[in-house]
Amino acid sequence: MVGQDSLTDPQQRSETRTEVADFIASQRLDTDSVSWISPTGVGESREELLQIPAETAGLTDQSACRIGDIGCGAGVLTAALAERYQSSKVLGIEFAAGAYDVAQGRFVDSENVVVVGGDAERVLPELRPLDVIYAINMVQDTADPLRMIRALAEALSEDGILILTVPDETATELFPEFAGWDEKRELPYMEMTDITVDGEQTSWHQYAFPEDRLKTVFEQRGLSVVRQDTLSADAAGLLYPMELLDDDERREWAESVVEEQRANPQAGPEIPLYVLETES
C-alpha cells in the first residue's frame, strides 16, 4: 500500500493532473466514448442520465434552465443535453486542454451551449446558479474532492439538483499495490508514480469513495440524496491506466473485459450514481 507520505500536495497534484488529463483525453477524442469506465460511453446509461432532470425536476424541452456539465470532456453528454433540453442553456467546463479544444469546435455554432476551460472549482462561482449540475466521473480526479463537492453544492440554485457519479472502492481494489489512505480527507486513493506521458515522467492520483463516507460528506455540505443507483459503464476506460502502466498482463485482462461487454452489455463494470438536492 502507498504510504501517507507519498501523497503529493494539492498544488502538485493539480499540475500533474493536467498531464494525465490531457493523455486520457487524447485517447478518447476519436470516438464518443469517455475515459475511465464512464457511463456516458454506454447508450442506455447516457439515456438514463439525460432523463434525470425530467424525472426528478420536471424539466422539458421548453424549460428555460441552466444546466452545467462539469468535466464535459469532448462534449458528448453536453451535446445530448443541449438537444434534449433545447430551451435551456448548457454550460460545459473542461480541465483537459485537448478535450476542451474539441468541445469548443463542436459547439462553435451552437445557440444554447457555452464551453469554458479551466479548473471547475474556480470557474463554478462565475457560472452559478445552476438548476442542474452533472459531475460525471470527475470529482475523483480533482486535487481536493471534498472541496470540489462543496463547490458543486454551492453552485446549485435553490431547487437545483446535482447528478454525480464517482468510483467506489473498486478502483483501489483493482490496483492494490497503488492504494493509499488520505487521513485528512478520510478517503482511499490510488496513486501511480513514475508513469510516462508523452516521454515525460508524471503521476496519476485518483480518489475512491466508500458509500458511508460519501454520504457523510454530502450531509456536511448540505446535500441530501434523492436517488441512489448504479449505471453500466464503458469497460474501454479500463484500458487507459493499463497504457499508463505499460502492464501487458493487466492490459490483456482489461481487453477481455471489453470483449465480454461487447458480447453482453450487462456484463460490464458499474459505477455508483447519486442524485442530490440541497437540504431545505
Q: Is the pLDDT of residue 93 over 60?
A: yes
Most confidently predicted of 19-28, 89-98, 144-153 = 144-153
Give the model's pLDDT for residue 198: 64
Per the DSSP assignment, residues forming a β-bridge with 188 are 181
Considering only residues 90 and 5, tell me which one the structure prediction assigns the higher pLDDT. Answer: 90
- Any idea what DSSP says for residue 144? -
Most confidently predicted of 42-56, 236-250, 253-267 = 42-56
Most confidently predicted of 26-30, 72-76, 180-184 = 180-184
Per the DSSP assignment, residues forming a β-bridge with 114 are 91
Q: Which CATH class is domain 4-52+62-278?
A: alpha beta
Give the model's pLDDT for residue 41: 66
Q: Is the pLDDT of residue 69 over 60?
A: yes
Q: Is the pLDDT of residue 219 over 60?
A: yes
6: CB partners within 8 A, 6+ apart? 180, 191, 193
Considering only residues 10 and 51, tell me which one the structure prediction assigns the higher pLDDT. Answer: 51
Domain boundaries, the chain: 4-52+62-278
Distances (CA, A) of 12 to 93, 143, 181: 21, 9, 18
Give the model's pLDDT for residue 34: 37
Q: What is the pLDDT of residues 121-167, one digit of tens each?
A: 999 999 999 999 999 999 998 989 999 999 999 999 999 999 999 99
Give the model's pLDDT for residue 194: 73
Whether this model's pTM surpasses 0.75: yes
Considering only residues 8 and 83, tell me which one the structure prediction assigns the higher pLDDT. Answer: 83
44: CB partners within 8 A, 6+ apart? 232, 265
- Calculate the average pLDDT of the chain: 84
